[in-house]
Amino acid sequence: MPDRFVSGFVSILGRPNAGKSTLLNALVGEKVAIVTPTPQTTRTLIQGVLNLDGAQVVFLDTPGIHQPDSAFNRRMMETIRAALAERDLLIFVVDATRRFGSADREALQLVRTARTPTLLALNKIDHLKDKSRLLPLIEQFKSLHEFADYLPISALTREGLDELRQAVIDRLPEGPAFFPPEHLTDQPERFLAAELIREKLTLETREEIPHALAVLVERWEDTLKLIHISATIFVERDGQKAIVIGAGGSRLKRAGTAARLEIEALSGRKVFLDLFVKVRPRWRDDPRMLEALDWRSMSGGAVAE
C-alpha cells in the first residue's frame, strides 16, 4: 500500500478539436465523453474519475475555447470559466500538428487568468511526421506562459499517457477519495444515451448540421431485461431534418443502430430505441431549450411540445 493518498480536481482545456475528450476517455479508460472530428462536439462539462492505488483524480472535460456567436456558445464559454475555478491543476491540450496561431494565444490567455498550475499536453504526436517541430512549439508556448511541465502525448495511441498521469499525480495534494471507486462519471444514463445518439448523428452528417443538432431523451422505461428509450433529435431547418433522416430513413437508421449498440454495451441490457426528428428554428438562442439540454439544470423534457 502506498503510504500517501492524493486526490484532486483537474480540468482539461484547449481549443476545439485538440483532442480533449479523447484524452479524458484514455485517462479514465472508459468512454465518458463523445468524440468526433467536428469542432464543438463537447457542449458541457464531462466528469471522468480515475482511481489508482494511491490516488483519485477527478478530471473535467470542457467545450473548446472559441469566440461565441450565439446564446448557446456564450453558455459554453461560461461553462469553461466554471471549469477554471477551484482546480488543483489544469491540462492545456494543443494539437501539436498545427501551427501556433492567434487563437492559441487567446485560449491561453483565458487559462492564465485561473492562476493554477498548468501542464501543457502536446497532443497528436502520432500524426506528427517531423518530431523536431515539437521543440519550437514548446518554446512558443513557454514564451507566453510558464507551464508546470511540457508533455508530448498521443491521446489516440496512448503514447506519453503514463508520464502525463504521473505528472498529474505528482502535483496533487494529499487528501481523501471524493467518490466511491465505482463512480466513473456524474452524467445520468439518459444524458449519456442522448450524447451517444448525437455522436453517431454527427459522424453521419457533415458541415454545419452537427452544430444545429440537439438530442433530448423524452422517455426512459427501464425493465429488468429491456430499456425503452424515446429521444427527440432537434434541428433548426427543414433541410437539416431531411439530411438527418436520409434517403428512406437510412441515415437515421444507421445512427440509431450504432447508438443503440453502445447504449446496450454500457447498460448491459437490450435497448429499444425510438427516434423522432423535430425542427426548432434558432434553438441555440432559446433559453428554455438550453435549460432543457443541460442535465445539471434538471428541467429536461418540457420543450418537446
Q: Cell numbers 453521419 correspond to what residue?
A: 204
Contact 137, 122 (CB under 8 A): yes
Binding mask 128-167 for Mg ion (x = CB under 5 A): ----------------------------------------
Cβ proximity to ligand GDP: between 36 and 187 the closer is 36
- Residues 6+ positions from 282 with CB-CB distance below 8 Å: 236
Which residue of 6, 10, 13, 18 would you call a contact of ligand GDP, by CB under 6 A?
Answer: 18
Stretch that binds ligand GDP, among 9-17, 83-91, 171-179, 263-271 (CB under 6 A): 9-17
Cβ proximity to ligand GDP: between 126 and 294 the closer is 126
Does residue 19 belong to the site contacting ligand GDP (CB under 6 A)? yes
Residues 126-165 contacting ligand GDP, CB under 6 A: 126-127, 154-156
For residue 16, which of 41, 33, 35, 34 has the smallest C-alpha distance? 41
For residue 148, which of 119, 171, 170 has the smallest C-alpha distance? 119
Does residue 186 belong to the site contacting ligand GDP (CB under 6 A)? no
CA distance linking residue 31 with residue 70, whole number of Å: 29
Nearest residue to ligand GDP, by Cβ distance, number only: 19
Residues 72-131 contacting ligand GDP, CB under 6 A: 123-124, 126-127
Minimum distance from CB of 41 to Mg ion (Å)?
Answer: 5
Size of the residue set binding ligand GDP (CB under 6 A): 21
Minimum distance from CB of 23 to Mg ion (Å)?
Answer: 9
- Residues 6+ positions from 139 with CB-CB distance below 8 Å: none
CA distance linking residue 187 with residue 207, whole number of Å: 28
- What are all long-range contacts of 257-265, with beta carbons under 8 Å and residues at least 24 apart? 258/200, 258/203, 259/193, 259/196, 259/197, 259/199, 259/200, 262/31, 262/196, 262/200, 263/192, 263/193, 263/196, 263/227, 263/229
Contact 194, 232 (CB under 8 A): no
Which residue of 21, 36, 202, 205 would you call a contact of Mg ion, by CB under 5 A?
Answer: 21
Which residue of 7, 11, 17, 202 would you call a contact of ligand GDP, by CB under 6 A?
Answer: 17
Query: Which residues here bind Mg ion, judged by CB under 5 A?
Result: 20-21, 42
Query: Which residues here bind ligand GDP, judged by CB under 6 A?
Result: 14, 16-22, 35-37, 41-42, 64, 123-124, 126-127, 154-156
